[in-house]
Amino acid sequence: MNRTGPWFGAFLLALVTAFLAAFGLTALADPIVLVLCSGLFVGAVLSIASGLASEVPIGPVAVPWHVLLGAAHVTVASAVAVLGLWTAATAGATSSQFLAVAMTVGGASLAWLGLQTARDDRHLEPDRTPSLQRLVGVVLLTVASIGIGVVVAALV
């Protein structure tokens, strides 16, 4: 999991950069956009920092990589959940409310993963050299999740 942290961070930075390139810095005047972009940016920095060393010194404390990666997941999850709750509160259409619920649930599951990663939970076993079986399983789960999302989006 530690090896994927910098890639996750680079992906988040690319998302924020592409958004700001498309809409400009004036888009940050909207508070919800500012919250989302800030959360993604902080999550990206934490994810990248988690892959730099096994421990990162912050003042007198050495913070392990899994705590940084877990904090990154929780930060991104919080930003996505806030956007989902804001969409649910302001949206009128049923499809928008469905999207808001999906974003909130997705944010909650990412936050749970982040907390478990930060705690170095035995169920996650975040090690530096993941097995090929685990990697294939994660890729298949990701592809299935994206496929289900595309089907749901096409139907709604």
- Name the residue ranges covered by the structural domains of the chain: 2-131
Cβ-based neighbour number of residue 120 at 10 Å: 14
User: Of 7, 40, 22, 3, which is closest to residue 130 (Cα–Cα)?
Assistant: 3
Reported as a single tens digit per residue, the pLDDT across 58-114 is 889 888 888 999 999 999 999 988 888 887 777 766 667 777 777 778 888 888 888
Question: Distances in Å between the alpha carbon of 78 and those of 5, 23, 43, 83?
Answer: 18, 23, 10, 9
Reported as a single tens digit per residue, the pLDDT across 39-58 is 999 999 999 998 888 888 88
Burial of 89 (0-12, 13-18, 19+ CB in 10 A): exposed
User: Of 39, 28, 113, which is closest to residue 76 (Cα–Cα)?
Assistant: 39
Q: Which amino acid is at 60?
A: P
pTM for the model: 0.75
